[in-house]
């Protein structure tokens, strides 16, 4: 899809060393599955990657996302993050705008519309939260 979406191309080339299709990035690139011999092989790899990511320790953050859809591709996105840990959290906050089924006419090699299509980032920023602090 990076060949038709400049935002996707920037993300793949800027954040990841993308080189083969299909490539699936789990947990921000903690696990990366490249290529596959078949759907069952890919499914087994993806389940293993999801399980591996789910076993990682996670920061004690409470994240709330509110989206108001105004129609005509216009929305308002609010995110609040509360650090429930006993220590400072430093990390990234990214809000992705995606479609369940592409309305942009982007099709896979079989002519089917892409699913879970990345359109753009609503915002991307570094965050720093002291213990017990909430940020909107």
Question: In the chain, where does DSSP find H-type helix?
Answer: 6-15, 39-54
Same domain (yes/no): 120, 67: yes
Same domain (yes/no): 36, 90: no
pLDDT tens for the 136 residues of the chain, in order: 555 677 676 766 666 666 677 788 899 889 999 877 888 998 999 999 999 999 999 999 999 999 998 988 788 999 999 999 999 999 988 888 888 877 777 777 788 877 777 778 888 889 999 999 998 8
Beta strands 115-129 and 134-135, pairing class: unpaired
Instruction: Give the model's pLDDT for residue 55.
Output: 97
**How many structural domains is the chain composed of?**
2
Instruction: Give the model's pLDDT for residue 107.
Output: 77
pTM for this model (two decimals) = 0.67
Task: Give the separation between CA 84 and CA 59, rounded to whole angstroms.
Answer: 8
Same domain (yes/no): 108, 73: yes
Same domain (yes/no): 109, 123: yes
């Amino acid at each position: 899809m990076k060949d038709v979406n400049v935002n996707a191309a920037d993300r793949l080339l800027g954040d990841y060393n993308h080189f083969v299709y299909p490539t699936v990035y789990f947990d921000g690139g903690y696990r990366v599955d490249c290529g596959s011999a078949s759907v069952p092989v890919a499914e087994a790899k993806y389940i293993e990657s999801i399980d591996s990511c789910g076993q990682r320790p996670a920061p004690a953050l409470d994240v709330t996302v509110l989206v108001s859809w105004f129609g005509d591709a216009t929305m308002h996105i609010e995110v609040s993050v509360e650090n429930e840990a006993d220590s400072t959290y430093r990390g990234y906050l990214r809000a992705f705008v995606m479609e369940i089924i592409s309305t942009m006419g982007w099709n896979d090699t079989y002519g089917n519309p892409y699913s879970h299509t990345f359109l753009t980032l609503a915002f991307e920023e570094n965050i720093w939260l002291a213990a017990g602090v909430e940020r909107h």
